[in-house]
Structure 1
Amino acid sequence: MSFFKKVFNKEQPQRKLTSANELKAGDIIVLTDSFALPENLRNQQFHIKAVNTYEFEYDKQTEWALESNSNIELFLSLDVDDKTYLKFSLKINHSDVESLFNLDSFAQVFDEPGDAFLEKQQDTNLTNGWTSEQYQQNVFAKVGYFHRKDHRSENISVYQGQDAGEQFELYQLLDQDQARGIDVEVWQDGDTDVFLTFYRPLTDIVDMFPGS
């Protein structure tokens, strides 16, 4: 075999993951076994099945769709402020919302001026460990666009049209400690998605493995 064949047949060096914002589809994360986490996160291993982008007026946020042995719909993003936190988002059903909150009170989330206050009624099996007793609204009808693309490696169109993303309105509530919250996404066709959110330190990811 010639020298050139030897050079080009060398295996590519494996990616090394040093921070969560380097994660790509196919990678794997392992979470801490801390009892501060809900049971369906604690000591769990998740495969990243897709990377999406939330685009707002002044920033773009990466979202990693997580997959495990359970059937829960779980997502990870990074909440960047003075410090950076992991933001886990658990998609819940209408029956979960109905159990958690009085629906008349929950409907106030969509009323101006956007200062709804919610008190929890009762958890379901899915929401155990994810919720707080009270929530105060802090975001009302914030317009965004959802892209099934990774903006870090793919171009996102700034023009209206096929690549402009799916438009939605975001409504958000947080608990007193800003450690747990609720995100509500209302799409142009009227569909509404509700997520329970959980903010944790970056160190809750105890290991990361690059995909093959």
Structure 2
Amino acid sequence: MSFLKSIFSKEKPQRAVKSVSDLRVNDMIVLTDSFALPENLRNQQFQVTSINTYEFEHKNQLEWVLTGPSNIELFLSLEVDDTTELKISLKVEHEDVENLFDLDQFSTVFNEPGHAELVFQSDTPKTQGWTDNHYRQHVFAKVGYFHRKDHRSESLSKYEGNGAGEQFELYTLYNEHQSHGVDIEVWNDGDTDVFLILYRPLTDIVDMYPGS
């Protein structure tokens, strides 16, 4: 009996995932069934497949890449201001943007002084539940660096060149209540990524547990 006890006493206790900040690769989250979420997110389970870091002048922001049903890919981060919210991002393609907004109007986002406004036109099947009627620009050409690493466990390079991350410019627009947004990332090679954003309470994640 004492021999068995000595074996079991050496087993490591299972890691607890008590908050979003605890999430690691392979961990799982379950979202609420609230009608405030797009239909393809409600009561769905997602797995953390990778973790990235956005580096800005005054902060580093973690991004958890999530994969869910039908291989939908989301990007999760924490938006910390007076309160802390979930920032859930969906990457959209050029043809989606053509439906969502007038492209001439969309191009004004890149014009100084950065006071563009976007009026929503129509959804695609991919974007239903992710959009609002009107957006106003709040961020213009904010310089950041993207790292394919988790800064909690890996140091970010302080130097230019190899390991310094991929430089980009960020443009951000919000709706009136800042519950929806649009992020646009412009990279040094000219590539442009567009994301639709939902800002949601932490309670939209109803369960979290460690992966295998």
**What SS class does the counterpart of residue 70 from structure 1 fall into?**
helix
- Partner of residue 43, structure 2: 43
What letter matches 1:14 in structure 2?
Answer: Q
For residue 138 of structure 1, what is the amino acid of its counterpart?
H
Letter in 2 for 1:190: G
Structure 1 unaligned blocks of 5 or more = none
> What are the equivalent positions in structure 2 for 1:89-100 lying under 5 Å apart?
89-100=89-100
Aligned equivalents of 1:184 and 1:72: distance in 2?
Answer: 20
The residue number in structure 2 matching 1:182 is: 182
Counterpart in the other structure of 2:84: 84
What are the Cα deviations for residues 34-90 of structure 1, in whole angstroms up to 9, with x where unaligned? 001011211110000001000000000000000012233310000000100000000
Residue 156 of structure 1 aligns to a residue whose secondary structure is coil
Report Cα offsets for 1:156-197 as digits up to 9, x if no partner.
111112110000000000000000000000000100000000
User: Aligned-residue CA RMSD in angstroms?
Assistant: 1.7
Aligned length: 211
Tell me if the contact between 2:116 and 2:136 (Cα under 8 Å) persists in the aligned partners: yes
Which ranges in structure 2 are unaligned for 5 or more consecutive residues?
A: none
CA shift digits 1:140-159 (9 cap, x unpaired): 00000000000011111111
The 1-side partners of 2:111 and 2:123 are apart by 25
Indicate the residue corresponding to 1:108 in structure 2. Answer: 108
Compute the TM-score of the two structures, normalised by the length of structure 1.
0.96
Task: Verify the 8 A CA contact 1:72 1:91 in the aligned structure 2.
Answer: no
| Structure 1 residue 127 displacement after superposition | 0.5
Separation in structure 2 between the aligned mates of residue 124 and residue 58 of structure 1, nearest angstrom: 36
Q: Secondary structure at the match of 2:95?
A: helix
Residue 63 of structure 2 contacts residue 75 of structure 2 at CA under 8 Å; is this kept in 1?
A: yes
Letter in 1 for 2:148: R
Moved over 3 A (4+): 6-9
User: Counterpart of 1:18?
Assistant: 18
Q: Which amino acid aligns with 1:148?
A: R
Paired-residue identity, %: 66
Question: Is the CA contact (8 Å cut-off) linking 2:44 and 2:69 kept in structure 1?
Answer: no
Secondary structure at the counterpart of residue 47 of structure 2: strand
Mapping of residues 130-141 of structure 1, within 5 Å: 130-141=130-141
What SS does the aligned partner of 1:203 have?
A: helix
Aligned counterpart, 2:75: 75
Q: By how many angstroms is 1:101 displaced?
A: 0.4
Q: Secondary structure of 2:106's partner?
A: helix
Distance, in Å, in 2 between the alignment partners of 1:163 and 1:11 is: 37
Farther off after superposition, 166-175 or 17-26: 17-26
Normalized against structure 2, the TM-score is what? 0.96
| Aligned equivalent of 2:169 | 169
C-alpha separation in 2, matches of 1:30 and 1:131: 22
What is the letter of the counterpart of residue 77 of structure 1? S
1: distance between equivalents of 2:205 and 2:169? 30
**Match for residue 62 of structure 1?**
62
